[in-house]
């Protein structure tokens, strides 16, 4: 039986959706098609950090007006990348304030001369606050470092004889109590200890606040009347897959829409017309998670064709969206995918690597997915912010289930619960849902990680935030990840699944692995008794320096990490028979943090090093995850096709 709120949303969802309350306004991932062209602007950009005392010299001198090299010296800066670790300058590594990026782009002639072409500049991620100019004209501003934004620059590039355009992006990484994540700036005024004007950025989260143009920057085109957004929502009626679609068009009023759903062989299995409808797919191939089915991650393609009547005649726009048909539901003690119990056995990640920091990198991404599949992981959480869209696409393609988390990490100050903060958080959820709503891999939204959810305003804050997220997307459960006391947690009544982090015998009872079983059992029983909701152990782990060995185990040795994990697993194996529906190790790989006496060149709780080499715990988890996969796969037929060479998967 579906639980109370889940049942309400399951019933209400399609209704809200059909009534057109679904999210409007598009940020479709830019894809080439017969009507759309792309031009990537990755590579070397000119760069300057504004080291002036008030950090505002760039605005005072209007650095965006003329080429950046004319207003002072510049550095070469790779995009995408964080700027922090590519240089040899200690001050730039920890710089707080405005940095300036600039790049000249040459445009195909048609883009600048054909007035029926719409030219859009899209920035995958600029952390944290960004202002964008094209040829010195302000075109966009965006708050938040983990979600894309774009600007229609057609008028600018089509107004003169220029075949190129100069793109300037000013980015500020300062965090305040109202940003997501929040932070504070501490000004040190004691001149006997600190130089004049000295300040530092303080944060309440455990990863380095890398900054810069972190994801691809590109230009793309559409016709002037274009497909602005598509929303799909899927369900299943016996063997028939149902794909509800809604298409939003901008730039014109006279048009027709045709849709075709193609299977993996390219055969059309359903067709429709108009901006809204339902496609029925008899004997549908469902989208199943990795290791749960012999053909996981089945993706159809929704081909959308828009034909618009304009003064210049008839024009077409084409967009193809991958679609996975699957359902998600939550009961009192289960998480169901396609009506079958799903057990999350996976990891928490970070976007983090040597030199590039949080910069998007294909080799790193493919390596990470190969490691996930080697490990037998079927899920991860995007701790603690939305990851690149390309990551989500690979999850769809490989069947890796995602808990999609907002950048709501480190919300611990009362000020960060103000209306200003809440309003911004609501907007971020809108941007996130708009971007990721069509990914079958995304099965749950996480609105925050370890907020001070015991503070008085947290009740209203999470009630509002979670209700808003459900209204945006009634098809998925919503959670936030807690480390509060079960009795004091004011947000827990509103979540669909309890996600709880704990570090027994690490942050307390140091070295005493013998207390883990008792404390973890108590944790699960308290939460379940109080809320009767399924529980995910959303973090657990131990810092481990690769190559440190000690037996009997001592903290920081590889033996201690393995020993601690084994103690957790004993309890998880009991409770997963009852209401625990998942376990996510902290962390997939070692990652960079702020400097502190508690961190040895970053957080070392990875089961892989930062360079993606396994510690002993990776082999232990691998054995466990493949064993779990063996026990929980559906149907009980061979899943041989998924086996990597030498996998411990038994048949």
Using omega within 30 degrees of 0 as the cis cutoff, is the peptide bond preceding 635 cis? yes
| Spatial strand order in the sheet of 217-223 | 38-40, 217-223, 117-123, 149-152
> Helices then strands (H, E): number in the chain?
12, 32
Three-state secondary structure call for residue 591: strand
The rounded distance, in Å, linking the Cα atoms of 620 and 481 is: 25
Active site residue 525: no
Alpha helices in 343-440 (DSSP H): 362-375, 389-398, 419-436
Nearer of residues 203 and 643 to ligand GCB, judged by Cβ: 203
Residue 507: CB minimum distance to ligand GCB, A: 7
Asked if 203 and 241 touch (Cβ cutoff 8 Å), the reply is no
* Interaction between residue 479 and ligand GCB (CB under 6 A): no
> Interface residues for ligand GCB in 567-596 (CB under 6 A)?
586
Which one among 84, 501, 537, 561 touches ligand GCB, defined by CB under 6 A?
501
Residue 483: CB minimum distance to ligand GCB, A: 6
Which one among 168, 234, 603, 642 touches ligand GCB, defined by CB under 6 A?
603
Residue 207: CB minimum distance to ligand GCB, A: 7
**Active-site annotation holder among 450, 539, 558, 583:** 450
Residue 147: CB minimum distance to ligand GCB, A: 20
* Interaction between residue 483 and ligand GCB (CB under 6 A): yes
Which residue has tokens 């006391």? 485
* Interaction between residue 561 and ligand GCB (CB under 6 A): no
Nearer of residues 506 and 528 to ligand GCB, judged by Cβ: 506
Which one among 450, 489, 496, 590 touches ligand GCB, defined by CB under 6 A?
450
> Interface residues for ligand GCB in 127-146 (CB under 6 A)?
none
* Interaction between residue 206 and ligand GCB (CB under 6 A): yes
Long-range contacts for 58-64 (Cβ within 8 Å, ≥24 apart)? Answer: 58/98, 58/100, 58/170, 59/98, 59/170, 63/100, 63/168, 63/170, 64/133, 64/136, 64/138, 64/168, 64/170
* Interaction between residue 168 and ligand GCB (CB under 6 A): no
The residue among 582, 301, 282, 260 whose CA lies nearest residue 438 is 301
- Please give the backbone phi and psi of residue 521, each rounded to the nearest 5 degrees, phi first: -60, -45
Nearer of residues 299 and 585 to ligand GCB, judged by Cβ: 585
Nearer of residues 591 and 626 to ligand GCB, judged by Cβ: 591
Nearer of residues 229 and 590 to ligand GCB, judged by Cβ: 590
- Name the closest residue to ligand GCB (Cβ): 206
Longest CA–CA separation in the chain, Å: 80
DSSP secondary structure letters along 61-90: TTTTSS-GGGGS--EEEEESS-STTTSS-H
* Interaction between residue 210 and ligand GCB (CB under 6 A): no
Nearer of residues 384 and 476 to ligand GCB, judged by Cβ: 384
The rounded distance, in Å, linking the Cα atoms of 128 and 134 is: 20
- Which helix (H) or strand (E) is 473 found in, with range? none
* Interaction between residue 100 and ligand GCB (CB under 6 A): no
* Interaction between residue 539 and ligand GCB (CB under 6 A): yes
Give me the active site residues, please. Answer: 450
Query: What is the contact surface with ligand GCB in residues (CB under 6 A)?
Result: 206, 384, 449-450, 483, 501, 539, 586, 603, 605
């Amino acid at each position: 039986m579906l639980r109370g709120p889940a049942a309400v949303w399951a019933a209400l969802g399609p209704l809200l959706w059909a009534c057109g309350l679904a999210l409007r306004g598009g940020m479709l991932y830019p894809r080439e098609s017969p009507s759309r062209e792309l031009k990537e602007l990755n590579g070397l950009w000119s760069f300057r950090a504004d080291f002036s005392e008030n950090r505002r010299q760039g605005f005072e001198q209007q650095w965006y007006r003329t080429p950046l090299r004319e207003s002072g010296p510049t550095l070469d800066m790779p995009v995408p990348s964080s700027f922090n670790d590519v240089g040899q300058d200690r001050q730039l590594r920890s710089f707080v304030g405005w940095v300036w990026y600039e790049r000249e782009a040459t445009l195909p002639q048609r883009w600048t001369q054909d007035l029926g072409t719409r030219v859009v500049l899209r920035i995958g991620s600029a952390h944290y606050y960004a202002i964008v100019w094209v040829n010195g004209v302000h075109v966009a501003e965006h708050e938040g470092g983990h979600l894309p934004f774009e600007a229609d620059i057609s008028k600018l590039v089509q107004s003169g004889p220029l075949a190129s355009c100069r793109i300037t992006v000013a980015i500020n990484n300062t965090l305040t109590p109202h940003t997501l994540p929040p932070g504070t700036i501490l000004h040190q005024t004691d001149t006997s200890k600190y130089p004049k004007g000295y300040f530092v950025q303080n944060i309440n989260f455990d990863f380095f606040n890398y900054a810069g143009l972190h994801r691809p920057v590109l230009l793309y085109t559409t016709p002037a009347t274009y497909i602005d957004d598509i929303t799909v929502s899927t369900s299943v009626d016996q063997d028939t897959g149902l794909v509800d679609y809604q298409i939003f068009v901008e730039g014109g009023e006279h048009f027709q829409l045709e849709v075709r759903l193609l299977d993996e062989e390219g055969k059309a299995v359903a067709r429709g017309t108009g901006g809204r409808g339902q496609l029925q797919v008899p004997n549908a191939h469902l989208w199943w998670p990795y290791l749960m089915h012999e053909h996981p991650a089945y993706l159809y393609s929704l081909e959308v064709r828009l034909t618009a009547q304009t003064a210049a005649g008839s024009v077409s726009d084409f967009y193809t969206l991958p679609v996975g048909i699957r359902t998600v539901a939550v009961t009192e003690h289960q998480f169901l995918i396609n009506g079958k119990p799903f057990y999350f056995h996976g990891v928490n990640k970070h976007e983090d690597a040597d030199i590039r920091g949080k910069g998007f990198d294909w080799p790193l991404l493919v390596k990470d997915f190969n490691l996930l599949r080697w490990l037998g992981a079927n899920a991860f959480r995007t701790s603690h912010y939305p990851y690149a869209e390309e990551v989500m696409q690979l999850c769809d393609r490989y069947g890796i289930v995602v808990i999609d988390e907002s950048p709501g990490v480190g919300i611990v100050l009362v000020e960060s619960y103000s209306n200003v903060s809440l309003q911004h958080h609501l907007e971020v959820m809108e941007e996130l849902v708009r971007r990721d709503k069509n990914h079958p891999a995304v099965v749950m939204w996480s609105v925050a990680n370890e907020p001070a959810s015991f503070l008085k305003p947290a009740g209203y804050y999470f009630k509002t935030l979670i209700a808003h997220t459900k209204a945006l997307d009634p098809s998925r459960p919503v959670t936030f990840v807690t480390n509060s006391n079960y009795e004091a947690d004011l947000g827990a009544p509103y979540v669909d699944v309890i996600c709880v982090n704990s570090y027994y015998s690490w942050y307390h009872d140091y070295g005493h692995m013998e207390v883990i079983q008792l404390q973890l059992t108590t944790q699960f029983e308290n939460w379940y008794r109080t809320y009767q909701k399924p529980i995910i152990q959303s973090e657990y782990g131990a810092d481990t320096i690769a190559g440190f060995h000690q037996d009997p185990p001592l903290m920081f040795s590889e033996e201690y990490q393995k020993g601690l994990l084994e103690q957790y697993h004993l309890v998880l194996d009991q409770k997963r028979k009852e209401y625990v529906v998942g376990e996510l190790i902290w962390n997939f790989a070692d990652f960079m943090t702020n400097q502190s006496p508690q961190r040895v060149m970053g957080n070392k709780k990875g089961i892989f090093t930062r360079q993606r080499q396994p510690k002993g715990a990776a082999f232990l988890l691998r054995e466990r995850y493949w064993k779990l996969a063996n026990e929980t796969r559906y149907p009980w037929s061979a899943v041989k096709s998924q086996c990597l060479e030498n996998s411990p998967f038994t048949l």
